[in-house]
Amino acid sequence: MMKTAFPRPLALAAIAMLATACGAGNAAEAQPTATPCPAAVAAIASCLGGRDSAGAYYLIAMPGTWNQALVLHAHGGPSLDAPAPERAAEDLTRWAVMVKAGYAWAGSTFHQGGVAVRAAAQDTERLRGIFRQHVAVPKRTILHGQSWGANVAAKAAEMFAAQTVGTQPYDAVLLTSGVVAGGTRSYDFRLDLRAVYQYLCDNHPRPDEKAYPLSLGLPAGVTLRAADLRSRTSECLGLDKPAVQRTEAQRQKVRTLVDVVRIPESEIQAHLNWGTFHFQDISSKRTGGASPFGNIGVQYAGSGDDAALNAGVPRFAADPQAVARFAEDTDLAGKIPVPVLTVKAVDDPTAFVELDSHFKEVMAAGGSGDRLVQTFADFDTHSYLSDATYVTLMDALMKWVDDGVKPTPAGIAQQCPAFATRYGAGCRFLPGYVPAALETRVPARKRP
């Protein structure tokens, strides 16, 4: 691939020249300004930043030696807070390996907090236009989504690439540790956690607090501090203590949650937080005050007394209109007209590997099955796997785009050690791994 050198003292001047020559895009967007790069890339790149017309902050990094390709990043989360420029710097720091490998990088904070996938996809596409108008016209644009951002990236590919006549806005899509089963399928287990937790603990809400459907997360307007929620889990489960310091009752309840909901003990608090505060954002701001989640028909298993658990656990029905609204915003149709490459840790504690099985089914049903290659790796982390992993995947994706050579999981696994010599150890691809169906991890339920 052709490389363009930008010596650091001349980098911003070169960018400005490119912007003049390549001034395509949305004329309403202001030109970014020079900004200090995060330390992780400061020695090898020049950075530009700004705030777009919708209010999203963004950060762009141009490596000193550019390979003419742009990685357009959609971050995970989502955060429920208002956007702040520090978020983009944190993302660039985490994904510094992309710049080290010669790719330009651009990431948006999104213009609003909360579980709003289409809006985040629009913010991401807006940043692509800013880059093309004010920085350069890349030879290739790779849309990268991490975690919840994988949902955003896949939705963006369906929203913009599938509807584009002529040149596609994105040449390929990379989805890492993705929440890729859509909102109506990816979060069911968090309602299961809320329901089983309430059966065991009866303190979220407490008996003397106003009752509400747990599927709402919290009712609109109700405020609960994260510290208060941690206090409640502490008194019931002792999560803030080593297991040996918990009571026998606490240990049994933790074991029940781990075995029934099938999440690691270390992730109970995080998923309970998401099932509280993110669910409140969804029900109160995205779906008209009703919940798209339900557990009618779920048969829970793995406790010391499943009959008592299933008889006593609170039940909630998903609201049909809420499901439709949430599906429109977050679910995928499997209609992505460009190559899609994914990676998932087989023991990802946040976005279960079985989500990828559902995504494969959706892509096949939507006619995009031949454009999907899934890889899996022997990690038990979510936020980041290894530098060598991502550089290997990007190289395979670029060869797929440029040369028409569709990668295979085995070929990717074989190529990784060569990149590890430069980018560090971390090659743990499992080319023969096939995830089980999502229903084997998260119980089936009645759906509207």
Position 28 confidence tier, pLDDT thresholds 50, 70, 90: confident
Helix ranges (DSSP H) in 51-138: 85-94, 96-100, 117-134
Residue 324, pLDDT > 60, answer: yes
- Neighbouring C-beta atoms of residue 60, cutoff 10 Å: 27
- The enclosing H or E element of 363 equals helix 354-365
Confidence tier at 163 by pLDDT (50, 70, 90) = low
- Please, which pLDDT band fits residue 197 given cuts at 50, 70 and 90? very high
What is the reported pLDDT for 19?
A: 40
Mean pLDDT of 362-373: 97
In this predicted model, which residue has the larger pLDDT, 180 or 8?
Answer: 180
Buried b (16+ CB within 10 A) or exposed e, 301-321: eebeeeeebeeebeebbbbee
Strands 69-74 and 45-51: unpaired
13: enclosing H helix or E strand: helix 11-21
Report pLDDT for 165: 64
- C-alpha 225/C-alpha 223 separation (Å) is 7
Evaluate whether 414 touches 384 at the Cβ level (below 8 Å): no
pLDDT in tens, 421-432: 999 999 999 999
Torsion-angle region of residue 358: left (phi > 0), alpha (psi -120 to 50) or beta? alpha
Closest CA to 440 of 354, 369, 379, 321: 354
pLDDT tens sequence across 223-257:
999 999 999 999 999 999 999 999 999 999 999 99
Q: How confident is the model at residue 161 (pLDDT cuts 50, 70, 90)?
A: confident
Q: What is the pTM of this model?
A: 0.93
Pair 409, 431: CB distance under 8 Å? yes
Average pLDDT (299-325) is 98
Q: Whose structure tokens read 């206090």?
A: 231
Q: Which string of b and e fits 337-374 if b means at least 16 CB within 10 Å?
A: bbbbbbbbbbebbbbbbbbbbbbbebbeeeebeebbbb
What is the DSSP-derived secondary structure letter of residue 135? T
CA angle 327-331-334, nearest 5°?
Answer: 140
b/e map 170-203, b = 16+ CB within 10 Å: bbbbbbbbbbbbbbbbbbbbbbbbbbbbbbbbeb
Tens of pLDDT, residues 52-108: 999 999 999 999 999 999 999 999 999 999 999 999 999 999 999 999 999 999 999
Nearest to 115 by CA among 145, 78, 81: 78
At residue 164, the pLDDT reads 63
State how far the Cα of 256 lies from the Cα of 237, in Å rounded to an integer.
11
Query: Domain 4-183+333-440: which topology?
Result: Rossmann fold (3.40.50)
For CATH 3.40.50.1820, list the domain ranges present in the chain: 4-183+333-440
- Compute the distance between CA of residue 368 and CA of residue 193 in angstroms, rounded to an integer: 33
Is the model's pLDDT at 4 over the cut of 50?
no
Q: How many CB atoms lie within 10 A of CB 383?
A: 12
